[in-house]
Amino acid sequence: MLSLFLVWGPFGFRMDELAEVVGGKRVSMTVLYGPRYFAPLRYLALFLKTLILLMRERPGVVYAQNPPIFCPLTCLIYSRLARKKLLVDHHSVWQLKTVGGLVGRVIGFLERFAAASAYANTAPNSEWASQLRWMGGRRVELIHDYVPKNTNSRDESLRRKYSQTPIIAIASHGGHPLELMEAEGAAAGQVNGLTLLISGPEEKLKKRFEAMKAPPNVKYVGFLPRDEYERLKASCDIAVNVTVEPHTLSHVLFEFVASKLPTITSRKIVVEEVFGNSLQYLDMNHPEELVRVLRRFSTDEDLRATFRARSLRKHAELTTLHEEEVRHLRALLPLQDH
């Protein structure tokens, strides 16, 4: 039985991972990606493309990502007509995270309808899972992100390609406006002997980075090929992820822990309950606070070694948790009829 994992967007690391562990097929669909004023035309085109794809592939199970909610709603039409299972992975609850007012209320109604109509729902953190249960979602399962251990070694030639300073930090962003890339850059500019490398999709970050007028030791490296990105993470000394996105458990935190990177991030309940003391938390997200922490991590090798060891232990714990959650997912999403 074919399980089709569907994302409306150019990439979806979480759905890649979920599809891989259960042997499903992941499909990413994009039309006029980026500008919001294209949204009505984009969603109409994706609606039609998705229905054509589903009717051609005839999957027994469709696993659709929300947001945007219109992706699982489109798949719901297919599941009702073809009498197939629909599961929805709520990367976030769109109404709470980004949309307010009348539009937010409409989105909220659609999300409740989709969650209650789907065969099952999954969420990447406990807050989203609790919200889905409150909304009446059926068979809500908590499935955390997971990133396998980065097996690359420190690459001195790659370090020289990007920096001549003794300490290199990396910050990876997807482009959400509440990711505080500007604060990261401003803080790094005040730390001697440090280079901050910012990575992420050009259509979301390039113009924003140019507007920052970043100091010379802060560089935007673009959206790197996967192999080079993995080697770069293994070659850096520190990772940074400063954000005020509500209820968000950033995928990059799992990446950084998998690379044994000492990581500085914003304090949030959903982050602390997963990562505990394996990360260094910021309480205020102020540039001054980040400057102080960056200076400590840049100059104290013992501190970095402590957090590398904590990341290693945490990744082992996350691997055990992942194996348990995968068993739950496979029971929820069988590839063969029982």
> Hunting for tokens 């980040």 — which residue is that?
290
- What is the predicted pLDDT for the residue at 239? 98
Are 88 and 104 spatial neighbours (Cβ–Cβ below 8 Å)?
Answer: no
- What is the predicted pLDDT for the residue at 12? 75
Q: What is the mean pLDDT of residues 145-160?
A: 95
Residue 334 confidence class, pLDDT cut points 50, 70, 90: low
- Burial of 160 from C-beta contacts in 10 A (0-12 / 13-18 / 19+): exposed
Q: What is the mean pLDDT of residues 196-218?
A: 93
In percent, the amount of the chain with pLDDT more than 90 equals 70
Return all residues near 245 (Cβ < 8 A) that are at least 6 apart. Answer: 97, 176, 178, 179
Q: What does the block give as tokens for 166?
A: 């003794």
Q: What number of residues does the chain have?
A: 338
- Please report the domains of the chain, with CATH numbers, ordered by start residue: 3-143 (3.40.50.2000), 156-316 (3.40.50.2000)
State CA 304 to chain mean position distance.
24
The region of weakest confidence among 85-99, 148-162, 292-306 is 85-99
pTM, full prediction: 0.86
Return all residues near 49 (Cβ < 8 A) that are at least 6 apart. Answer: 29, 31
The amino acid occupying position 293 is V
For 89-140, what is each residue's pLDDT tens digit?
998 776 666 556 777 788 888 999 999 999 999 999 988 899 899 999 999 9
- What is the predicted pLDDT for the residue at 319? 96
Walk across the sheet containing 3-8 and list its strands. 25-29, 3-8, 61-66, 85-90, 120-123, 140-142
- What is the predicted pLDDT for the residue at 148? 93
Residue 338 confidence class, pLDDT cut points 50, 70, 90: very low
Q: What is the mean pLDDT of residues 59-79?
A: 94
Q: Is a pLDDT exceeding 80 seen at residue 293?
A: yes
Helix-, strand-, coil-residue percentages of the chain, each rounded to 5 = 50, 20, 30
- What is the predicted pLDDT for the residue at 99? 57
Q: Is a pLDDT exceeding 80 seen at residue 34?
A: no
- What is the predicted pLDDT for the residue at 37? 67
Distance CA 241, CA 250 (A): 8
- What is the predicted pLDDT for the residue at 178? 86
Residue 143 confidence class, pLDDT cut points 50, 70, 90: very high
Q: Is a pLDDT exceeding 60 seen at residue 195?
A: yes
Q: Is a pLDDT exceeding 70 seen at residue 159?
A: yes
Residue 21 confidence class, pLDDT cut points 50, 70, 90: confident
Residue 337 confidence class, pLDDT cut points 50, 70, 90: very low
Q: Using CA atoms in the order 310, 237, 246, 254, what is the torsion angle rounded to 10 degrees?
A: -50
Average predicted confidence (pLDDT) for the chain: 90
